[in-house]
Amino acid sequence: MVTITVDGKTIETEDGALLIEVLLANGINIPHFCYHPALGKDGNCRMCMVEIEGSKRPQIACDTPAKEGMVIRTKGESIERVKRSILELELINHPIDCPICDQAGECSLQNYYMDVGLYDSRLDTPKVHGKKHEDLGANVVLDQERCVLCTRCVRFTSNITKTHELGVLQRNDHSVISTFPGTKLSNPYAMNVIDLCPVGALTSKDFRFHKRVWFLEPAEAICDGCARGCSLYVDHHRDKYKDDIIYRYRPRFNDDVNGYFICDYGRLNYKKENENRLLNAYIRGMESEFEYAKLKLERIIKRYGAKTLIVLSSNLSLEEYYRFKKLSTKLNLELNAYDNNIDEKFGDDFLKKNDKTANRKAVELLEIPHTLSELEASLKDKEFVMLVGRSDFNIINNLNYKGSIGVLCSHDFQQKDKLDIVFPIVSHTGRAGSFINCDGFVQFSQCEIKKDILSAKILDLLASILNDGIVTCEDVWEKGLGDEPFLKSIHFDLLQTKSQKIEML
**Per-domain residue ranges of the chain:** 2-91, 98-204, 281-501
CA dihedral 455, 460, 462, 463 (to 10 degrees): -150
pLDDT of residue 115: 83
**How many residues make up the chain in this entry?**
505
Q: How far apart are CA 8 and CA 72, in angstroms?
A: 8
pLDDT of residue 92: 87
Contact 264, 250 (CB under 8 A): no
Q: How far apart are CA 471 and CA 465, in angstroms?
A: 12
CB atoms within 10 A of CB 488: 12
pLDDT of residue 505: 67
Q: How far apart are CA 415 and CA 189, in angstroms?
A: 36
Cα distances from 4 to residues 12, 15, 60, 64, 92, in angstroms, run 6, 10, 16, 13, 36
3-state secondary structure of 109: helix
pLDDT of residue 204: 97
Q: How far apart are CA 328 and CA 294, in angstroms?
A: 19
Q: How far apart are CA 12 and CA 194, in angstroms?
A: 35
DSSP string for 243-262: -EEEEEEEE--BTTTTBT--
Q: Note the helical H segments in 305-449.
A: 318-331, 360-365, 372-379, 394-397
Q: Among candidates 436, 461, 435, which has minimal Cα distance to 326?
A: 461
Q: How far apart are CA 358 and CA 226, in angstroms?
A: 5
pLDDT of residue 444: 97
Architecture category of domain 281-501 in CATH: 3-Layer(aba) Sandwich (3.40)
Q: How far apart are CA 94 and CA 103, in angstroms?
A: 14
Q: Note the helical H segments in 198-289.
A: 264-267, 271-274
Range 2-91 classified under CATH 2.60.40.10: no
DSSP string for 385-405: EEEES---THHHHTTT--SEE
Contact 389, 315 (CB under 8 A): yes
- 405, β-bridge pairs: 385
Instruction: Show pLDDT as tens, one digit a residue, over the chain (505 residues).
Output: 999 999 999 999 999 999 999 999 999 989 999 999 999 989 899 999 999 999 989 999 999 999 999 999 999 889 989 988 898 888 888 998 999 999 999 999 999 988 876 667 787 888 889 999 999 999 999 999 999 999 999 999 999 999 999 999 988 888 999 999 889 999 999 999 999 999 999 999 999 999 999 999 999 999 999 999 999 999 999 999 999 999 999 999 999 999 999 999 999 999 999 999 999 999 999 999 999 999 999 999 999 999 999 999 999 999 999 999 999 999 999 999 999 899 999 999 999 999 999 999 999 999 999 999 999 999 999 999 999 999 989 889 889 898 999 999 999 999 999 999 999 999 999 999 999 999 999 999 999 999 999 999 999 999 999 999 999 999 999 999 999 999 999 999 999 999 999 987 6
Cα distances from 192 to residues 110, 451, 466, in angstroms, run 21, 28, 45
Q: Among candidates 312, 313, 286, 308, which has minimal Cα distance to 298?
A: 308
Which CATH code fits 98-204? Answer: 3.30.70.20
For 113, phi then psi, to 5°, come to -65, -45
**Which residues have C-beta within 8 Å of that of residue 491, sequence separation ≥ 6?**
500
Q: How far apart are CA 407 and CA 421, in angstroms?
A: 6
Q: How many CA atoms lie within 13 A of 169 on its CB side?
A: 11
Contact 402, 383 (CB under 8 A): no
Q: Kindly list the strands in the beta sheet with 500-501, ordered across the sheet, starting from the edge strand earlier in the chain.
A: 433-436, 441-445, 500-501
Q: How far apart are CA 229 and CA 317, in angstroms?
A: 12
